[in-house]
C-alpha cells in the first residue's frame, strides 16, 4: 500500500500492471496487421449477401434529376434527409444497398442485438417524432422500426431506391451523374455520402477457411433459417442439437453469447482478447425516464453525456450509466481541479501518471467483477482483460459473463494467439481441434479504410478522382467537404470530424451543418459551392498539428491490437479508427460548426452563381 499527493492511496502495483499490459500486447501483435482479415468480396461474397432483402427484386432503370442524392440509408442518410426537409429542401433521393432504411440496424439482427448507448441519447429525432424508447438500451428491432418511422415521417420513402448499389459518381458541368448496378442514370445538384464507418464485414483470413464445411455466417448476416427464431423472437430452437462455435469476443459477441447459450447443445467461444464488460442495467423505461418537457432536451442530454467524455463534470448525470460511472473514476478531476488541489500546475508527466493510475483503478474494477460473476476461477482468469480502458471498445452487459457458468458453454482462450485455422470439420487453435456444426464469425468490420472503398465507388470531378485527390492526405473543410469537388458532402465515415462514442449525435450535427450549407447556397442562387483550397489547407494543418491527436496516437500505440489502433501497426492518424479528428473534442467541434453557420457568409467556401 502506498500513498502520494497526486494519486492518493494505491492498493496495487502500477509498474507490475504496466509490465503485464505490455507483455499481453506484445504477444498479440501480428506482422500482417489488418492483412490478417479479408473482406466479403470474391470467394467470400456469400458472407456479405443480404439475408433480409427480396432476392427476386427487379425494377426498371431510372433516369431523372433530384435536388439532393444521399448515398446510404442508415442514420446518417436519414438524418440528412430529415435535416434537409427542416431546412426546406424536400427533393431528396436516398440510395441504399440494403432492402430498407436502418444501416447498421438493418444488417445487424443477431439475437440479443441492442444499442449499448442509452436510447434517449442514441435514437435520433426522438423529440421531433415524440417517441419514447421502450427500453433504456433499445433492442435492434425497435431501432430498425425507428429508422422506418423517420423514413415515413420525413417522406424519405417516396424517392428512395433500395437494393441499389451506386457504381460511380461524376461531376458533369453543374450536376452530379450517378450510375448504379440497376442501370440507373441519376443526376443531382448535390451529392451527400453517408456510407457509415464500419459497414463492411470482415473475416479472419486463416488457412483452411475456404474448405471449412460446417455451416458458417457473419454476425451481421444472421442465418435464422439455420438457427430458428427471428430477430423479433430469437428462439434459436434449431440449435438444440448443435455444437456452435463463435469467433470473437468484441461488442457484438458479448450480446450474442448469452442468447446462443440459452439454446445450443454446446457453445464454444473462441477468444483472442477479452473485452471489458461493465454493468448494463437494462430496464424498461418509465414514461418519465427523461424530462422531455423542455424543448431541446435531447440535444442537451447528448451534450451532457458528451461532456463526461471530455472529463467535464456537469451538475447532473441524467444518463447515469456504466459509461458515466466509469468516466467518473477515469477522470475524477480536471487539470484545473488537480492544480487547485496540488497548489501548483501539474507537470505533463504528472498528468500522464494521474491518468494511468485512474485507468488501472477502472480496469481493476472490471477485473474484480469477472471474479464475482464467473464461478470457475480459471475461466474468470481467462476472461480478464489486461489493457487500458480505451484500448478497445468498452462493453457493458449483464448476461455475458454469467453465461460462462452454464454447463453447455465453454471458453477456449487462445492465449492471445487466436484461432489459427480450420480443418474440413474443425476449428484449429494451435494443435488443438474443435469440431462444431456451426461457426459464427463475430469478427467485426473493416475500419480505417479509404473513404471511396467504404462507399464502394469512386467520385470524379473535373477529371480528378477523389481517391487520387486524397491519396497522400485526406483533405476537408470541417470533415464535410473537400476542395475541387463542388456540391459534394460527407456525413460521417470520414476522418477530420470529431471523435464521438455517440456516433448518432455526431451524425445529427453533421447533417444539420450540411443541410445548412445546401439550403444557404440555394438561397444565395449558387449553382455550386465548395471549400477554398487555402481553407482546407488551414483546417488540415489544424488536425495534423493537433497535440491532442498526437497524445491519442501515443496512447493507442501502446494498446493491445484491434481496429482502434490499426491492429497495432498504424503509421498515421488516418490508419486509426478515431485518428485525424478535431483535436479539441466533439463539443468544441460542434461549437466550431455552429459558430461557422452563425457567421452567415460560409467562410472558406466559394460559390458559383447560376
Q: Which residues contact 219 (CB under 8 A, 6 or more apart)?
A: 108, 110, 201, 248, 252, 253, 256, 440, 441, 442, 443
Question: Based on C-alpha coordinates, what's the Rg of the chain?
Answer: 24
Q: Which is nearer to ligand NDP, 198 or 546 (CB)?
A: 198
Q: Which residues contact 577 (CB under 8 A, 6 or more apart)?
A: 197, 447, 448, 563, 564, 565, 566
Q: Which is nearer to ligand NDP, 33 or 484 (CB)?
A: 33
Q: Which is nearer to ligand NDP, 228 or 421 (CB)?
A: 421
What ranges make up the beta strands (E) of 250-379? 266-271, 277-278
Check if the beta carbon of residue 5 is closer than 8 Å to that of residue 353: no
3-class secondary-structure state, position 141:
helix
Among 124, 151, 248, 278, binds ligand NDP (CB under 6 A): 248
For position 448 contacting ligand NDP by CB under 6 A, the verdict is no
Kind plus residue range of the DSSP H or E element containing 409: strand 409-413
Between β-strands 395-396 and 277-278, what pairing exists: parallel, antiparallel or unpaired? parallel
For position 563 contacting ligand NDP by CB under 6 A, the verdict is yes
Residues 370-399 that bind ligand NDP (CB under 6 A): 393
Label residue 487 exposed, middle or buried (CB < 10 Å: 0-12, 13-18, 19+). Answer: buried
For position 443 contacting ligand NDP by CB under 6 A, the verdict is yes
Residues 566-595 that bind ligand NDP (CB under 6 A): none
Rounded to the nearest whole angstrom, what is the least distance from the CB of residue 144 to ligand NDP in the complex?
A: 14
Rounded to the nearest whole angstrom, what is the least distance from the CB of residue 202 to ligand NDP in the complex?
A: 8
Among 160, 191, 253, 403, binds ligand NDP (CB under 6 A): 253
Angle at CA of residue 501, ends 82 and 10, nearest 5°: 160
Q: Which residues contact 589 (CB under 8 A, 6 or more apart)?
A: 497, 498, 509, 581, 582
Count other C-beta atoms under 10 Å from residue 333's C-beta: 15
Among 68, 247, 436, 570, binds ligand NDP (CB under 6 A): 247
Among 250, 385, 566, 583, binds ligand NDP (CB under 6 A): 250
Please, which residues bridge with residue 234 across strands?
none
For position 144 contacting ligand NDP by CB under 6 A, the verdict is no
Rounded to the nearest whole angstrom, what is the least distance from the CB of residue 560 to ligand NDP in the complex?
A: 7
For position 442 contacting ligand NDP by CB under 6 A, the verdict is yes
Compose the 269-308 pattern: x for residues touching ligand NDP by CB under 6 A, - for all others.
-x-xx-----------------------------------
Q: Which is nearer to ligand NDP, 162 or 396 (CB)?
A: 396
Rounded to the nearest whole angstrom, what is the least distance from the CB of residue 591 to ligand NDP in the complex?
A: 25
Which residue has cell 427480396?
A: 54
Size of the site for ligand NDP (CB under 6 A): 25
For position 419 contacting ligand NDP by CB under 6 A, the verdict is yes
Kind plus residue range of the DSSP H or E element containing 254: helix 251-263
Among 40, 164, 227, 249, binds ligand NDP (CB under 6 A): 249
Q: Which is nearer to ligand NDP, 95 or 114 (CB)?
A: 114
Rounded to the nearest whole angstrom, what is the least distance from the CB of residue 503 to ligand NDP in the complex?
A: 8
Among 308, 445, 490, 539, binds ligand NDP (CB under 6 A): 445
Kind plus residue range of the DSSP H or E element containing 413: strand 409-413
Kind plus residue range of the DSSP H or E element containing 586: helix 586-599
Question: Using the 8-state DSSP alphabet, how is residue 5 labeled?
Answer: T
Rounded to the nearest whole angstrom, what is the least distance from the CB of residue 571 to ligand NDP in the complex?
A: 19
* Three-state secondary structure readout of 502-540: CHHHHHHHHHHHHHHHHHHHHHCCEEEEEECHHHHHHHH
Rounded to 10°, the helix 503-523/75-86 angle is 40
Q: Which is nearer to ligand NDP, 95 or 254 (CB)?
A: 254
Rounded to the nearest whole angstrom, what is the least distance from the CB of residue 228 to ligand NDP in the complex?
A: 22
Residues 30-89 that bind ligand NDP (CB under 6 A): none
Check if the beta carbon of residue 196 is closer than 8 Å to that of residue 73: no
Among 115, 160, 209, 309, binds ligand NDP (CB under 6 A): 115
Compose the 317-346 pattern: x for residues touching ligand NDP by CB under 6 A, - for all others.
------------------------------
Rounded to the nearest whole angstrom, what is the least distance from the CB of residue 122 to ligand NDP in the complex?
A: 8
Rounded to the nearest whole angstrom, what is the least distance from the CB of residue 184 to ligand NDP in the complex?
A: 31
**Which region among 245-253, 481-489, 523-531, 578-586 touches ligand NDP (by CB under 6 A)?**
245-253
Longest CA–CA span in the chain (Å) reads: 74
Rounded to the nearest whole angstrom, what is the least distance from the CB of residue 254 to ligand NDP in the complex?
A: 7
Q: Which is nearer to ligand NDP, 292 or 414 (CB)?
A: 414
Compose the 515-554 pattern: x for residues touching ligand NDP by CB under 6 A, - for all others.
----------------------------------------
Among 72, 124, 204, 573, binds ligand NDP (CB under 6 A): 204
Measured CA to CA, the distance from residue 568 to residue 587 in angstroms comes to 28
Q: Which is nearer to ligand NDP, 441 or 596 (CB)?
A: 441
Check if the beta carbon of residue 411 is closer than 8 Å to that of residue 271: yes
Between β-strands 488-490 and 185-193, what pairing exists: parallel, antiparallel or unpaired? parallel
Q: Which is nearer to ligand NDP, 72 or 418 (CB)?
A: 418
For position 562 contacting ligand NDP by CB under 6 A, the verdict is yes
Residues 254-273 that bind ligand NDP (CB under 6 A): 270, 272-273
Measured CA to CA, the distance from residue 250 to residue 270 in angstroms comes to 11
Measured CA to CA, the distance from residue 559 to residue 565 in angstroms comes to 7
Q: Which is nearer to ligand NDP, 396 or 485 (CB)?
A: 396
C-alpha cell at 572: 498515421
Label residue 525 exposed, middle or buried (CB < 10 Å: 0-12, 13-18, 19+). Answer: exposed
Footprint of ligand NDP on this chain (CB under 6 A)?
A: 115-117, 198, 204, 247-253, 270, 272-273, 393, 414, 418-419, 442-445, 562-563
Amino acid at each position: 500500500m502506498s500513498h502520494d499527493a497526486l494519486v492518493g492511496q494505491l492498493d496495487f502495483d502500477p509498474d507490475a500492471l504496466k509490465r503485464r499490459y505490455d507483455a499481453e500486447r506484445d504477444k498479440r501483435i501480428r506482422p500482417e496487421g489488418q492483412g490478417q482479415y479479408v473482406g466479403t468480396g470474391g470467394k467470400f461474397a456469400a458472407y456479405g449477401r443480404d439475408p433480409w432483402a427480396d432476392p427476386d427484386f427487379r425494377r426498371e432503370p431510372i433516369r431523372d434529376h433530384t435536388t439532393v442524392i444521399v448515398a446510404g440509408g442508415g442514420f446518417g442518410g436519414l438524418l440528412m434527409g430529415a435535416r434537409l426537409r427542416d431546412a426546406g429542401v424536400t427533393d431528396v433521393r436516398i440510395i441504399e444497398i440494403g432492402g430498407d432504411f436502418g444501416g447498421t440496424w438493418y444488417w445487424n439482427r443477431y439475437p440479443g442485438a441492442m444499442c449499448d448507448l442509452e436510447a434517449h441519447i442514441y435514437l435520433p429525432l426522438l423529440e421531433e417524432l415524440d417517441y419514447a424508447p421502450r427500453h433504456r438500451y433499445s433492442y435492434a428491432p425497435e431501432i430498425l422500426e425507428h429508422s422506418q418511422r423517420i423514413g415515413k415521417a420525413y417522406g424519405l420513402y417516396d424517392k428512395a431506391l433500395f437494393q441499389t448499389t451506386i457504381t460511380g459518381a461524376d461531376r458533369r458541368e453543374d450536376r452530379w451523374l450517378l450510375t448504379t448496378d440497376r442501370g440507373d442514370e441519376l443526376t443531382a445538384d448535390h451529392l451527400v455520402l453517408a456510407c457509415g464507418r464500419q459497414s463492411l464485414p470482415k473475416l479472419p483470413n486463416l488457412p483452411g477457411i475456404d474448405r471449412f464445411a460446417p455451416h458458417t455466417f457473419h454476425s451481421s448476416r444472421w442465418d435464422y433459417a439455420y438457427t430458428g427464431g427471428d430477430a423479433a423472437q430469437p428462439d434459436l430452437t434449431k440449435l438444440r442439437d448443435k455444437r456452435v462455435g463463435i469467433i470473437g469476443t468484441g461488442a457484438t459477441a458479448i450480446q450474442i453469447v448469452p442468447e446462443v447459450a440459452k439454446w445450443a447443445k454446446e457453445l464454444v467461444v473462441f477468444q483472442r482478447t477479452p473485452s471489458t464488460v461493465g454493468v448494463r442495467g437494462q430496464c424498461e423505461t418509465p414514461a418519465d425516464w427523461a424530462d422531455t418537457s423542455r424543448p431541446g432536451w435531447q440535444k442537451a442530454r447528448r451534450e451532457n453525456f458528451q461532456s463526461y467524455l471530455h472529463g467535464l463534470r456537469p451538475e447532473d448525470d441524467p444518463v447515469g450509466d456504466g459509461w458515466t460511472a466509469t468516466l467518473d473514476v477515469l477522470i475524477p478531476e480536471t487539470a484545473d481541479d488537480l492544480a487547485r488541489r496540488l497548489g501548483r500546475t501539474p507537470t505533463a508527466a504528472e498528468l500522464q501518471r494521474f491518468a494511468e493510475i485512474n485507468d488501472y483503478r477502472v480496469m481493476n474494477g472490471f477485473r474484480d467483477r469477472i471474479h464475482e460473476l464467473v464461478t470457475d476461477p480459471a475461466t474468470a482468469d481467462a476472461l480478464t482483460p489486461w489493457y487500458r480502458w480505451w484500448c478497445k471498445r468498452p462493453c457493458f452487459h449483464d448476461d455475458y459473463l454469467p453465461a460462462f457458468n452454464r454447463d453447455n458453454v465453454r471458453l477456449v482462450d487462445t492465449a492471445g494467439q487466436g484461432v489459427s485455422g480450420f480443418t474440413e470439420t474443425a476449428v484449429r487453435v494451435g494443435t488443438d481441434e474443435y469440431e462444431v456444426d456451426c461457426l459464427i464469425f463475430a469478427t467485426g468490420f473493416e475500419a480505417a479504410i479509404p473513404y471511396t472503398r467504404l462507399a464502394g465507388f469512386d467520385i470524379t470531378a473535373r477529371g480528378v478522382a477523389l481517391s487520387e485527390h486524397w491519396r497522400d492526405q485526406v483533405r476537408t473543410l470541417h470533415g464535410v467537404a473537400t476542395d475541387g469537388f463542388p456540391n459534394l458532402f460527407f456525413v460521417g465515415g470520414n476522418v477530420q470530424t470529431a471523435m464521438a462514442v455517440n456516433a448518432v449525435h455526431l451524425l445529427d450535427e453533421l447533417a444539420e451543418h450540411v443541410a445548412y450549407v445546401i439550403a444557404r447556397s440555394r438561397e444565395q442562387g449558387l449553382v455550386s459551392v465548395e471549400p477554398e483550397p487555402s481553407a482546407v489547407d488551414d483546417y488540415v494543418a489544424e488536425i495534423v498539428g493537433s497535440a491532442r491527436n498526437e497524445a491519442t496516437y501515443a496512447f493507442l500505440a501502446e494498446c493491445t491490437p484491434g481496429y482502434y489502433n490499426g491492429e497495432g501497426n498504424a503509421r498515421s492518424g488516418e490508419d486509426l479508427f478515431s485518428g485525424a479528428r478535431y483535436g479539441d473534442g466533439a463539443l468544441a467541434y460542434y461549437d466550431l460548426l455552429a459558430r461557422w453557420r452563425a457567421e452567415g457568409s460560409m467562410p472558406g467556401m466559394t460559390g458559383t452563381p447560376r
